[in-house]
Structure 1
Amino acid sequence: MTHFHGTRRKRTYFEGWYLKQQCGPYSLALIPAYHIDEYGNPSASIQIITPDGSDFAAFDSGSFAARKDRFWVRIGKNVFSEQGMKLDLATPRYRITGQVRFHSLTPLSYSAMGPFSLLPFMQCSHEVLSLCHTVEGTLLLNGKPLVFHRGIGYIEKDRGTSFPSQYFWTQCNQSAGGSQSIFMSAAHIPIGKFSFTGTTCCILYGGRQYRLATYLGAKVLRLRPQTVIVRQGKKYLRADVLKVAPHPLQAPMRGGMSRSIQESLCCQVRYRFYAGSHLLLDEVCQNASYEYVAPDREPAK
Structure 2
Amino acid sequence: MYTLKRIFNPEIFQGKYKRNNYFEGWYYKIIDKSSENILAVIPGVAVSRHSEHSFIQFIDAKTGFTRYLTFPKQAFTYSEKELSVEIEGNHFNKQQMSLNLKDNDFSISGDIEFNDIVSFPKTLLNPGIMGPYSFVPFMECHHGIINIHSGLRGELLFNGQSIDFTGGYGYVEKDWGKSFPHSWIWLQSNNFCHRDTSLMFSIASIPWFRHEFDGLIAFLRINGSFLRFATYTGAKIKELTVNDSILRVSIEDSEHILKLEASYGKGGILKAPKKGIMEVEITESITSTVKVELAEKSGRLIFRDVGENTGLELAGNYRKFATD
Q: TM-score, normalised by structure 2?
A: 0.87
Deviates more, 1:193-202 or 1:119-128: 193-202
Match of 1:33 in 2: 44
What are the residue-to-residue correspondences of 1:98-137 with 2, within 5 Å?
98-110=110-122, 111-137=128-154
The count of aligned residue pairs is: 300
Q: Secondary structure at the match of 1:116?
A: helix
Match of 1:290 in 2: 312
- Given candidates 5, 20, 31, the residue that maps to 1:22 is 31
Match of 1:76 in 2: 88
Displacement of 1:5: 1.1
1:6 partnered with 2:28? no
Displacement of 1:280: 2.4
What are the residue-to-residue correspondences of 1:80-99 with 2, within 5 Å?
80-99=92-111
| Larger fraction in strand | 1
Paired AA for residue 283 in structure 2? Q
Match of 1:269 in 2: 290
Displacement of 1:271: 1.9
Contact 2:184 2:318 in 1 (8 A): no
Q: Secondary structure at the match of 1:233?
A: coil
Match of 2:7 in 1: none
Deviations 1:152-206 (A, max 9, x none): 1000010011111111111111369952111111111111112111111111100
1:50 partnered with 2:64? no
Structure 2, gaps ≥5 residues long: 1-9, 123-127
Displacement of 1:76: 1.1
Q: TM-score, normalised by structure 1?
A: 0.94
Displacement of 1:13: 0.5
What are the residue-to-residue correspondences of 1:145-184 with 2, within 5 Å?
145-174=162-191, 179-184=196-201
Counterparts in 2 of 1:178 and 1:299: CA distance versus 1, 3 Å: closer
CA distance in 2, matches of 1:223, 1:16: 28
Measured on the aligned residues, the alpha-carbon RMSD in Å equals: 1.9
CA distance in 1, matches of 2:73, 2:140: 23
Counterparts in 2 of 1:219 and 1:297: CA distance versus 1, 3 Å: closer
Q: Secondary structure at the match of 1:215?
A: helix
Paired AA for residue 133 in structure 1? S
CA distance in 2, matches of 1:237, 1:88: 41
Contact 1:133 1:177 in 2 (8 A): no
Contact 2:29 2:170 in 1 (8 A): yes
Contact 2:193 2:306 in 1 (8 A): no
Match of 2:3 in 1: none
CA distance in 1, matches of 2:283, 2:291: 20
